[in-house]
A and B are shown apart, each in its own frame.
Chain A
Amino acid sequence: EAGVAQSPRYKIIEKRQSVAFWCNPISGHATLYWYQQILGQGPKLLIQFQNNGVVDDSQLPKDRFSAERLKGVDSTLKIQPAKLEDSAVYLCASSSRYSDRKATGELFFGEGSRLTVL
């Protein structure tokens, strides 16, 4: 079974530029998460999708961050314009539907996309 795929692995941009990250979750997983992990800190949830609907985006800086999951499968996270403090690893994770008999509560993570803003 293929894992969670993310791209690009690394990105370096200057402040005020834009960047986009892509995530393809494990096949059949209804829930998709985007986390921001700043060096030395734990992952912080940015947005959570259930299929193509948003469940929680309370910590997403909506003036500069946007995310979509149009067909309920893969997802894109965009930052425009980027700030220095956006330098972090952006983690995508997926999990099966809570009501699924096979649901375990486990999140499956991709390797992350490391963003450096200069």
Chain B
Amino acid sequence: GDSVTQMEGPVTLSEEAFLTINCTYTATGYPSLFWYVQYPGEGLQLLLKATKADDKGSNKGFEATYRKETTSFHLEKGSVQVSDSAVYFCALTHGGYQKVTFGTGTKLQVIP
């Protein structure tokens, strides 16, 4: 079945550091890929998405490129801020009924 694998956290970075959170997936066909973010005390919300190979999703300075050849969707940001501290979930949607599979999440802590 479908699965998503994320790098384990927590990831601790200093403000303005470069961020990469790795995500790889296993799925047949052509899933849509997503990054969701969960800020402390809040529900999950969509950060960015890509629906086909080579698409780049971007939002709030974050980017991720859908790489079919490496089955990856790594999240990057050039300069993180303290307000980016949250848990980040990689996910995929597959099939006509939009079944969504999530990774285990990566906690990011940004220190001033």
A98 vs B54: C-alpha distance when bound (angstroms): 22
- B49, A109: Cβ atoms closer than 8 Å: no
- Please tell me if the beta carbons of A42 and B103 are within 8 angstroms of each other in the complex: yes
Q: Count chain B residues whose beta carbon lies closer than 8 angstroms to a beta carbon of A.
A: 23
Residues of B within 8 A of A48 (CB): 97, 99
- Interface pair A109/B97, CB less than 8 Å apart: no
The 15 sampled A-B contact pairs (Cβ below 8 Å) are A31-B97, A35-B102, A40-B105, A42-B102, A42-B105, A45-B99, A50-B97, A56-B97, A98-B96, A105-B93, A105-B98, A107-B36, A107-B46, A109-B43, A110-B43
Chain B interface SS verdict (over half): strand
Q: In the docked arrangement, what's the CA distance between A41 and B8, Å?
A: 11
Which residues in A have their C-beta under 8 angstroms from that of B49?
104-106
Chain B interfacial positions (CB closer than 8 Å to A) = 4, 32, 34, 36, 42-46, 49, 51, 89, 93, 96-105
Q: Determine the chain B residues whose CB is within 8 A of the CB of A50 once the complex forms.
A: 97
> Residue on A with the closest CB to B97?
A55
Which residues of chain A from 24 to 45 have a CB within 8 Å of any chain B CB? 31, 33, 35, 40-45
List the B side residues contacting A55 at CB < 8 Å: 97, 99
Which residues 65-118 in A have Cβ within 8 Å of B in the complex? 91, 93, 95, 98, 103-107, 109-112
Report B50 CB to chain A, min CB distance, Å: 10
* Docked pose: A56 CA to B98 CA in angstroms: 11
Q: Which listed residue, A43, A45, A56, A105, touches B51 by the CB 8 Å rule?
A: A105
Instruction: Quote the shortest CB–CB distance from A45 to chain B (angstroms).
Output: 7
Contacts of A104 in B (CB 8 A): 49
| Interface hub of B36, B93, B98, B101 (most chain A Cβ within 10 A) | B98
> A35: which B residues are within 8 A, CB to CB?
102
